[in-house]
Amino acid sequence: MGKITFAEIQKNEKIMQLVNMSNENLGIIGYTEHGIRHVKYIAKIAGRILEELGYPAERVELAKIAGWVHDVGNMINRQYHSLTGAMILFEELQKLGMDFADVCAVCSAVGSHDEEIGRPVSDISAALIIADKVDAYKARVRLDSYSLEDIHDRVNLSIYETHVRVNKEEKQIIWEMHMKDHATPMEFMEIYFSRMRMCETSAAFLGCTFRLVINGLVMNQIGAVQA
């Protein structure tokens, strides 16, 4: 067993197949994009959150890996995909020769990222949750099948600019977005409210507060939420 890098995980053909098939299956049943663009973004943001908060490079690397693999359970079924994904990865990552403690850290984060049943249980888990929940953006809309009657398509299509900022000194994680008039902030909150609360809880786990800003307006309280 040894240290498997994020770069190695990205290049692994089996992992790539899991990511691609998961995305294809979700497309068939009407979900937004969950493919390479999504996992690449989640890996980047999860790693950057821990890096900018001063966590060790090893934890940053594991957060990136967790971000890349977090949705593979969708290959089996959307329901409980976080748990299914963790089970798949527990075997696959060991086969790749990953250190067993690292396997456990990644699988624990993957298994706890879904808003229906999850909650932050580690630094990697908290960073993964925040990164996953803030990926609302026009590129997530599947242009071959979208409908403005679908609130998820309408909301994502309206979001044309987003920024995740980490302020270590102020202990703040800020997600700022800009929306056009395809949808309203109220519609965004209708489908993202529980995810934003989960971001608040995850930020608190990291000793920070989470601030949501839409079109320049702060949408949530600044005070810390207990993990």
Q: Are 65 and 15 in contact (CB under 8 A)?
A: no
CB 221 within 8 A of CB 196: no
Q: Residue 61: which pLDDT band, with cuts at 50, 70 and 90?
A: very high
Helix axes 81-95, 13-28, angle to 10 degrees: 160
Element holding 122 (H helix, E strand): none
pLDDT in tens, 6-41: 999 999 999 999 999 999 999 999 999 999 999 999
pTM of the entire predicted model: 0.95
Q: Give the confidence band of 1 by pLDDT, cuts at 50, 70, 90.
A: low
Model confidence at 206: pLDDT above 70: yes
With tokens 């020769």, the residue in question is 97
> CB–CB of 112/72 below 8 Å?
no
Instruction: Give the C-alpha separation, 106 to 7, whole Å.
Output: 15
Which phi and psi angles does 108 have, rounded to 5°? -60, -45
Across 54-77, average pLDDT: 98
Q: Is 225's pLDDT higher than 60?
A: no
Q: Which of 31-40, 43-52, 62-71, 145-154 has the lowest mean pLDDT?
A: 145-154
**Two tokens, residue 63:** 């957060």
What's the fold here for domain 6-218? Hypothetical protein af1432 (1.10.3210)
pLDDT of residue 88: 98
The DSSP-derived string for 149-197 is TSHHHHHHHHEEEEEEEEETTTTEEEEEEEE-TTS-HHHHHHHHHHHHH
pLDDT band, very low/low/confident/very high, at 227 (cuts 50, 70, 90): very low
Choose among 21, 31, 22: nearest CA to 145. 31
| pLDDT score recorded for residue 46 | 98
pLDDT value at 62 more than 50: yes
